[in-house]
Amino acid sequence: MNDRGFFISLEGIDGSGKTTLKESIIRELNLNNSVVGIREPGGTVVSEQIRDLVLDARNSGIMGKTEALLYAAARSQVVEEVIRPALNRGQIVIADRYLDSTIAYQGYGRGLDLQFLFDLNHLCTGGLYPDLTLYLDIDPLEAYRRRQGELPDRLEQEGLEFQARVRAGYLVLAASEPRIRQLDATRSQRQIHDEALRLISTCLLSRNRD
């Protein structure tokens, strides 16, 4: 738990609805709170530059470990420059992806050593974990259908089998980490938004009681 602010991350495979949910939650929470939204990789000038590099479809030669280190570098920068200061000011931070993405994608998707990735995450976040993580669960084929028409980035080009391994990783994480709450992402945007808001309110209330 953070001292003053409240930190929420959104997770799920590509096309699961994270960005849509982030925008609707921010609209609602902003009515009574000060909210900062970021995306990962990204959220700062440097982290957005790393994003361009790591997602560039021409960079097919990036090795798995290099990829993990690039995501970690982008995360380290956004934690220090944006997330920690916002939490210290008492703001709510909503991150479209955070450290679970590294475990799901580089760990379960690519097969990199999980302990190496947990250690790397700890290093690049200084041990800053979300108070609440909303995991949007959806079948990769359904998520893919939603996004037809968009140009695939480097990771999306890797296809449905990769996304299926990533999903399996998220399911393991969601079953083992109490901070992660799993939502059925096949429902309507309104239903998902309402459930997310309920979970956030419950978590905020119990935090304020402590």
Q: Are 86 and 93 in contact (CB under 8 A)?
A: yes
Identify the three-state secondary structure at position 139: coil
Contact string (CB under 6 A) for ligand TYD, positions 161-190, x = contact: ------------------------------
**Residue ranges of the alpha helices (H) in 33-113?**
45-55, 64-78, 84-88, 99-101
**φ, ψ for residue 63 (rounded to 5)?**
-75, 160
Stretch near ligand ADP under the rule CB under 6 A, chosen from 8-16, 70-78, 119-127, 151-159 = 8-16
For position 192 contacting ligand ADP by CB under 6 A, the verdict is: yes
Tell me whether residue 134 or residue 210 sits nearer to ligand TYD (CB atom). 134
DSSP alpha helices (H): ranges in the chain?
Answer: 18-29, 45-55, 64-78, 84-88, 99-101, 114-125, 140-146, 160-176, 189-209
**Pairing state between β 132-137 and 6-11:** parallel
Where on the phi/psi map is residue 42: left (φ > 0), alpha (ψ -120 to 50), or beta? left
With CB under 6 A as the contact rule, the residue among 9, 16, 101, 163 that binds ligand ADP is 16
Footprint on residues 82-111 left by ligand TYD (CB under 6 A): 97, 101-102, 105-106
Compute the distance between CA of residue 108 and CA of residue 41 in angstroms, rounded to an integer: 18
End-to-end CA separation in angstroms for the chain: 10
Q: Which of residues 13-52 bind ligand TYD (CB under 6 A)?
A: 14, 18-19, 39-41
> Which of the choices ligand ADP, ligand TYD, none does residue 130 contact, using the CB cut-off of 5 to 8 A by kind?
none
Q: Is 182 in the site for ligand ADP (CB under 6 A)?
A: no
Give the residue with the Cβ less far from ligand ADP, 103 or 120. Answer: 103
157 binds ligand ADP (CB under 6 A): no
The yes or no reply on residue 114 touching ligand TYD (CB under 6 A) is no
Dist. CA 3–CA 89, nearest whole Å: 10
Q: Which residues bind ligand ADP (CB under 6 A)?
A: 12, 14-20, 146-147, 188-189, 192
Q: Which residues bind ligand TYD (CB under 6 A)?
A: 14, 18-19, 39-41, 55, 71, 97, 101-102, 105-106, 155
